[in-house]
Structure 1
Amino acid sequence: MQQKTIYLIRHGETDYNRRGVVQGSGVDSDLNDMGRAQAMAFFQAYQHVPFQKIYISGLRRTFQTAEPFIELGIPFEKLTGLNEISWGVMEGKVPGNIDNEYYRNLIDAWSSGNTALPTDGGESPDQVVSRQKVAIDSILSHPDEETVLVAMHGRAMRILLCWLTNRPLSMMDHFEHSNLCLYKLQYDYDTAAFTIEIANDTSHLLTLALA
């Protein structure tokens, strides 16, 4: 029975995250000092894992999150299908009252099952799935890579975890996430099924709270 183990992480903190500014796929921000510390804490906890490949999105914050592993010489590949959802006109803005209402209505619509509804000037969850499937197919097409690290983004992770586990996209908000959280997945090539072994784990960041 052939399996692939996927360590799926969200990128470390950026100043935009800290300030509540919407990034999406259109804001290519860098990790802040906390984000880099989170990346190093994750590396220290998981550097023993024999990753054979690293997959990142096309945005800098995922490269910087995986950079300690990349510096070990582990091959990596950028897949833009792993990019964050495009939030359109909301990107780069601090949500004000109007934006909060807009955002709330949007999330309510998605939770009600209208996942074909795009953000204003951006993408819908259904559109994100279409490009994610291309990226995941690419990752799964290398069964020799038995253990891989995948770094991506919060909303995109929620969408990905839904369809990988055959849940409707309306349930995406059931998947909690925080900066540099870990979801550990197993993929069985015989049954073509994903299982979640670890969800939203941040125990590797406890050393930062003690520092």
Structure 2
Amino acid sequence: MHSIKDIYLIRHGETDYNRMGVVQGSGIDADLNALGQQQAQAFFQHYQDLPLDKIYTSALKRTHQSVNGFIEKGLPWEQHAGLNEISWGIREGRTPNNDDDQYYRNLVRTWREGQVDVPSEEGESPVDVLEKQKPVVELILSRPEERHILIAMHGRAMRVLLTHLFEKPLHDMDTFGHQNLCLYHLQYDYRTQKFNAIKANHTAHLHGLPDCM
């Protein structure tokens, strides 16, 4: 059995919702915008020669579009709803306004204070998201023959996942930064059953593109 698994974990490229500062959770299945497509292409051009064995994405099309270049190469691909973004509840997708902005600030502060089981209104909590992710993580790690994999997912969900992989408290999830089409290069050692970060929130492949959120 191979002892090391390389995991290339990315956040999806920019959507118009990102551009406008609109919260989009699992209930918003938005397309990448023009810049998001450029980010996806730039990432593909930079990493197209990676010896990838499998692509994993969420069930939302913005992650599919972010790795489309690799999918078109004919690489094996699985999508899992367990990798979807958190559901932000009844407010997601709405035009930004002061009431909603304050609601989200208060909610995130509640999570940072340790109450990570508090859900958004008619949505999910970080604990809910982690419970959906755990079976997908177990599945991925049960396949040591897949030595190099690419995972495309979402900002908040990525923060939740990284706390789990690095055995950090869930309320520390905001210590993991991200932006559109950023890369976390992780290695999993089957002997120690530990993850190591090679790159974190890495965006050198986007050099020359406009700044993104």
The TM tier, using the shorter chain, reads over 0.9
Give the drift of 1:209: 4.5
Aligned to 1:118: 119
Deviates more, 1:95-104 or 1:117-126: 95-104
Alignment of 1:76-87 (within 5 A): 76-87=77-88
Give a deviation string over 1:139-171, Cα, whole Å, max 9, x none.
111110000000000000011111110110111
**How far apart are residue 120 of structure 1 and its match?**
0.5
1:95, CA displacement in angstroms? Answer: 2.6
Partner SS, residue 208 of structure 1 = coil
Instruction: State how far apart, in whole Å, the 2-side matches of 1:56 and 1:206 are.
Output: 24
Question: 2:159 matched to which residue of 1?
Answer: 158
- Which residue matches 1:109? 110
- 4+ aligned runs moved over 4 Å, structure 1: none
SS of equivalent to 1:132: helix
What's the counterpart of residue 141 of structure 2? Answer: 140
**What is the match of residue 90 of structure 2?**
89
Equivalent residue, structure 1, for 2:15: 14
Q: CA RMSD in A?
A: 1.2
Per-residue CA deviation, residues 76-99 of structure 1 (Å, 9 max, x unaligned), is 000111000000112111231111
Aligned partner of 1:111: which letter?
R
Q: Contact conserved, 1:41 with 1:207, CA < 8 A, in 2?
A: no
Aligned mates of 1:94, 1:111 — CA distance in 2: 25
TM alignment of 1:16-35, pairs within 5 A? 16-35=17-36
Unaligned runs of 5+ in 2: none
Q: What TM-score, normalized to structure 1? A: 0.97
The amino acid across from 1:96 in the alignment is N
Q: Give me the TM-score of the superposition, normalised by structure 2.
A: 0.96
Number of equivalent positions: 210
Whether 2:197 is the aligned partner of 1:186: answer no
Instruction: Name the % identity.
Output: 56
Secondary structure, aligned partner of 2:67: helix
Structure 1: runs of 5 or more not aligned: none
Amino acid at match of 2:10: I
**Partners in 2 of 1:84 and 1:33 — Cα distance?**
21
